[in-house]
Each structure stands twice: as C-alpha cells, then as structure tokens.
Structure 1
C-alpha cells in the first residue's frame, strides 16, 4: 500500500516541475521549428544564421539542462525533508 501512496506523491505537478519541463522541452521546440532559422542572414563573423543559431542552442541547451537538474535536485531534497519531518500536508 505504501507503493501506491509513493506513486501518488510522485505524480504531483508543482510550479518547479513545470519550469523543469519547460527547460527540457524548449531546445526541442527551437530545433524542430526549422522554418524559424532556415536562412542565411544575419551573418555572424562570417557564419550564416542557420549554423550559428544551432550552435548557440547547444550552449543554451546545456544551461537549461543544468538548470533543470539543479531544480530537480532541490525539489527532491525538499520533498525528502518534508516526508521525514511529517510535514507533507497539502
């Protein structure tokens, strides 16, 4: 029976989890929407927009993934602290 309650607790949607989801989904949306960056102008240091936009998203994706991971770890620590103190009231 405790397994069922653990599943119920894990399925809670919180604002932090929504931010985590947005951080992880944003790079996919940006890269799958090819029409938004399938052009050559503006050129940045001689590199067409198509290429430097994608390379910029490599850096942005890294930052967003790190942010999502840190938010997830903080959320898990807070949930564990609430469950050990018995303060899991909603």
Structure 2
C-alpha cells in the first residue's frame, strides 16, 4: 500500500511499484456475502436475548446442588455467551480475510473503480 501523496513508499518504508498505487477508490475488500454476517447476528442475538427472557427460567425446580434453576440457568449462559461471541467473531473475521484475499487477487471491481485513475491521484478535495 502506498501513500496517496505519491511518495511511492508503503507505510512500513518499502518501495511500491508504480502500477499499484492506492487511491481513494481502490478496493481493499471484495464483495461481501451476507450469510456470515447474518449468522453472527443470530448468534449474538441469542446470547443477548435468551438470558433477558425470565419466563424461560423463572422456576425453582430442578435444583442443581441445592441451587434453584433460575440461578444456575443464568450462570450457564456465561460460558454459552462466550462461545457464541467467539463463534460470531470467527465468522466475521474469516469473511473479512476472504474479502481481502479476493481484492488482492484482483476480484470483482467496485463501483467507481474505473474513475480511480481519472482523478487527482487520490487527493481529497
């Protein structure tokens, strides 16, 4: 990645070939697939909504080690929520890595990519 100032150097100091200059319209990610984001949203919604529905756990029985159901049900959601949150994070980061790899491999161009070279080398107005 090169700076938009046309210096020809990446942020870590390496030289960048002339043809790979980045502009404001350069795609850094490929097109998104909605399924991983929907899946992550469902996992996070479950982790949030189920513990907030007391009609599911407002019971005394069954007891576990002398502890009423409504206590151990809520405590059970602590590791479940951690697992659901970790799974949602994994889905989103895997999709982001896929999108970045697709853009690096020269995937589908974004709208406005044709006008990327016609501008003022990425300078902002």
TM-score (norm 1): 0.80
> Partner residue of 2:83?
63
Please state if 1:51 is matched with 2:71: yes
Structure 2 equivalent of residue 2 of structure 1: 25
Q: Cα gap change, 1:70/1:78 in structure 2, threshold over 3 Å: closer, same or farther?
A: same
Partner of 2:48: 28
Report the more deviating stretch, 32-41 or 53-62. 32-41
Poorly superposed stretches of 4+, deviation over 3 Å: none
- Structure 2 runs not aligned, ≥5 long: 1-23, 110-125
Cα distance in 2 between the residues matched to 1:58 and 1:88: 41
* CA-based RMSD: 2.1
TM-score, with length taken from structure 2: 0.60
Tell me the matched-pair count: 84
- Which has the higher Rg, Structure 1 or Structure 2? 2
The answer to which structure, 1 or 2, has the higher relative contact order (CA under 8 A, 6+ apart) is 2
Q: Which has the higher helix share?
A: 1
Change (3 A) 1:84 1:13: closer
